[in-house]
Amino acid sequence: MHLFTTTAGLHCYLERQGPGKELGLVTTMGALHKGHLSLIERARRENSLVIVTIFVNPLQFAPTEDFQEYPRGLAQDQELCQQIRVDAIFAPTVDQLYGDNPMPTADKGDELTQVIPPKAMTSVLCAVSRPGFFQGVATVVVKLLNLVRPNRAYFGQKDAQQLAIIQRMVADLKLPVTIVPCPIVREKSGLACSSRNQYLTPEQKAQASLLYKGLRSAQKAFQGGLCDRINLIERVRSELAGTQDIQVEYVELV
């Protein structure tokens, strides 16, 4: 397995690959978990070459968010990638993707060329509490797609709004890549696997699993014939109301 930290090294590697090889890409911010591994394993089954990118993208973090604290562990990530036969990791530094610009955070990216998704997709749901987030995600994903030029790129359905924006972006910009949605991977409690789960204590993890319980309750009600949006949302909220430690940003049905 190869590790590249520069765009030049990545380009040389890609140029040495023979014609006719299908290339699969999995973009990550590192701190790999079972969800990431499921994406990589699918990419491995469907492609001749698999490249994993590891880059904590500052452009999608607001100043009040956890860019500095975000879990990082390249050595452990390399070991996991080696075990599931990844061909190459691309782990660039910030300057490799953004040049000599000062650290580009979500509120300080005005001097950069950026991808701006449709406002209708970036003014609702997660975007309300994270202004600039999806613009930062779209920009870095386009950069990585342009650098790697994969046949397929794999994204988890856990980040549903992000996935929808990336699919729309690829379609609108006519990018020659197939976006492959992959199912959510969950812990035994039902909590979706996430790198940020490392922040949670065992007690907080147990509380967080109430979200899955609420979603399942709403799903069963819908399958039983309940179609009223407000009632379905209230089923989720009623489960989350079981603890005062959970602050709900939104529950929505789309």
Question: Catalytic positions, please?
Answer: 36
193, 35 in Cβ contact below 8 A?
Answer: yes
* Direct distance between the N- and C-terminal alpha carbons of the chain, in angstroms, rounded to an integer: 41
120, amino acid identity? A
